[in-house]
Amino acid sequence: MVTAPYSLTYSTSGPSAIRHLPFTDRRRKQTSGFAVIRFPCPRLVESIPVLPDSIDLRDLATRYTAAWCSQNPESVAAFYSHQGSLRVNDGPPAVGRNAITQVAQSFMTAFPDLCVVMDNLRLQADEPEYHWTLSGTNTGPGGAGHRVCISGFERWRIGSDGLIASSQGHFDAAEYRRQLEQGV
C-alpha cells in the first residue's frame, strides 16, 4: 500500500477499501498527515495518483495519447515542461520543447497514419508509468511501406508545473527494426 504524500491509495484486501488523503491542519495551513477513510468497494484494483497541483493523471495521459495521433508534433511537446526531456530507449535525451518536437516529428513523418493507444497507466515506484502501443505504416521518406505495431512504456516524472519534467521511453528496438524491414 502506497502512503506517499498526495497519494490516494486503495487496498483491495478485506471488504472495504482504504483512502489515504492529505490532512491539512487549518491553523498552520499546511499538510500535516493523512486522513484515513474506509468505504465499501471490494473490487477496486488500481492506485489513482492525486498530485500536489490536483493533476488528473489519467486525463493528462489521455490527452497526451491524442497529441501523438494528431500529426502535430508541437502538441506532444506542449505536455512537457519548458526544459523537460524525452529519452527513447538508450538514445540521448531530447531536452526542451524544440528537441521534443523534433522527436515527435520524426515518428509522425515516418508514419503518416501514426496511431498511439494508451494500454495502461500505473504507478511504479511512486512514478507514473504510461504504457502504449504504436501502430502505423512506414510510408514516410525512405520508408519501406511496412506496417509496424510495437508496445512500450514511458516512466514519467511530473514537474511542479503539472507537466512532464522527464520521460524515459522503452520499447523493443530489435523488434521495431525487424518490423520496419519486414512488417508485422
| Residue 58: partners with Cβ closer than 8 Å, 6 or more residues away | 48, 121
Cα 95 to Cα 65: distance, rounded to the nearest angstrom: 20
What are the residue ranges of helices labelled H in the chain? 57-69, 73-77, 97-110, 173-182
DSSP 8-state code for residue 113: T
Mean pLDDT of the chain: 79
Note the pLDDT of residue 47: 37
Note the pLDDT of residue 125: 83
Note the pLDDT of residue 11: 31
pLDDT digits (tens, 9 = 90+) for 30-47: 443 443 333 333 333 333
- Residue 83: pLDDT band with limits 50, 70, 90: very high
Domain boundaries, the chain: 7-49, 57-182
Mean pLDDT highest for which of 13-17, 36-40, 106-110?
106-110
Note the pLDDT of residue 68: 97
The three-point CA angle 66-113-132 to 5° equals 45
State the cell numbers at 135: 501502430
Note the pLDDT of residue 103: 97
Q: Is the pLDDT of residue 115 over 80?
A: yes
Note the pLDDT of residue 31: 42
pLDDT digits (tens, 9 = 90+) for 126-149: 889 999 999 999 999 999 999 999
DSSP 8-state code for residue 136: E
Cα 75 to Cα 166: distance, rounded to the nearest angstrom: 16
Pick the residue with more confidence: 122 or 42?
A: 122
The residue assigned the cell 493523471 is 57
**CATH 3.10.450.50 applies to domain 57-182:** yes
User: What percent of the chain lies above the pLDDT cut of 70?
Assistant: 70
Residue type at position 60: L
Pick the residue with more confidence: 124 or 117?
A: 117
Pair 55, 158: CB distance under 8 Å? yes
